[in-house]
Every structure is written in structure tokens, then in C-alpha cells.
Amino acid sequence: MWIALAIVAIVVLFWIFQYNSLVRLRNWIEEAWAQIDVQLKRRYDLIPNLVETVKGYAKHERETLERVIEARNRLFAGSGDRTQQMEANEALSGALRSLFALQEAYPDLKAHEGFTKLQEQLEGTENKIAQARQLYNRTVMQYNTKVQSFPSNIVASVHGFRRTEMLEAKDAERENIQIKF
């Protein structure tokens, strides 16, 4: 009788441990995504200042400036899922690369202290976004491994834990950007 109770207690404790570790990993995924979101919002707030600084120097580069603003607005226009939000983020990154390329065509802009500071802040934010994406993917990998590994996969399937998709670089991110004036 005592042996049967001990076995049941061990199985219950094991089940609880596996369930709690799955919940912890799922929550870490949400926290990692929140960190990405914080950095995306920071970049969102910095862009209007950058665009206003560039406007004074590059009045006839209106198309580039409009693409940056349009991409910025699309990023937070709708709730969308994570995939849509990251696609909008990549469009914004491409538009920002075009905007930063303008400094080569406008030496006065390149020397403008406000532009340089804003560019440095945005580059720092881009680095933080990259780090947050790495943390997110690392956490998703740990979670997915747990969801798929025996015996925790049994607990995961009973309680509805499902694989989560990692953030991947799009083809456009893998290509070199060519700017022509």
C-alpha cells in the first residue's frame, strides 16, 4: 500500500514539475516578446525626430521620408499577430537603411549633430531589437525542446502546450541593400 502511494506521489510531483517548467518557459517567451515590443516602440518614437532633422537637408528626398513614416505607422497600426508585426518591422528597417544612406549624398546632414545623435540612438535600438530577438528565439527553442521531449511531451499534450514559431530573417534581410542616387 505504501509503495503504491509513494509511486503515485512521485508521478504527481513529476507531473507538477513538468507542468510548471512548461508554464515558466511559456511565460519567458511572453516576456522576451515584450522586450522586443519595448524596443520597437522606442524606435517608433525616435523616427519622427529623425525624419524632421532630415527634412531640412533633403527636401527633394520626400519619397524616402514618406516610406519611413508609412512603415513606422504600419508597425503599430493594427494589433496583428507577431508575424505581421515582424514583417512591418522589417519594412521599417529597410526604409531606415534608405534614410541613413541619404547622409552620404548630403555631407551637411552627415555633419549635423542632431542627426548623428538620433542615428546613434536608432542604431543602439536596432542592436537591442536584435538582442531581444535572439533572447526570444533562444527561449522558444528551450520551450519547443521541452514540448517535444519525452516525457514532458506527455504533460504538454495533455495541457495543450504547442510549439511556438521562432522569428526568422526574411529574404530581404539577407540581401545587400543597394542605394542609387
Average pLDDT of the chain to the nearest whole number: 81
Q: Which helix (H) or strand (E) holds 18?
A: helix 2-55
- Helix 62-75 × helix 2-55 angle, to 10°: 160
Biggest alpha carbon distance in the chain?
86
Digit-coded pLDDT (tens) for 37-64 = 888 888 888 888 777 777 666 665 667 7
Confidence of residue 111 (pLDDT cuts 50, 70, 90): low
Given a cut of 70, is residue 137 above it in pLDDT?
Answer: yes
Confidence of residue 135 (pLDDT cuts 50, 70, 90): very high
Mean pLDDT, rounded, for 161-180: 65
What pLDDT was estimated at residue 174?
44
Give 119's contacts (C-beta < 8 A, 6+ positions apart): 50, 100, 103
Q: Which of 68, 66, 65, 42 is nearest to 54 (CA)?
A: 65
Task: Go through the domains of the chain in sequence order and give each one's CATH number.
Answer: 27-174 (1.20.1440.20)
Give 136's contacts (C-beta < 8 A, 6+ positions apart): 29, 32, 33, 35, 36, 166, 167
Grid coordinates given for 68: 519611413
Confidence of residue 181 (pLDDT cuts 50, 70, 90): very low
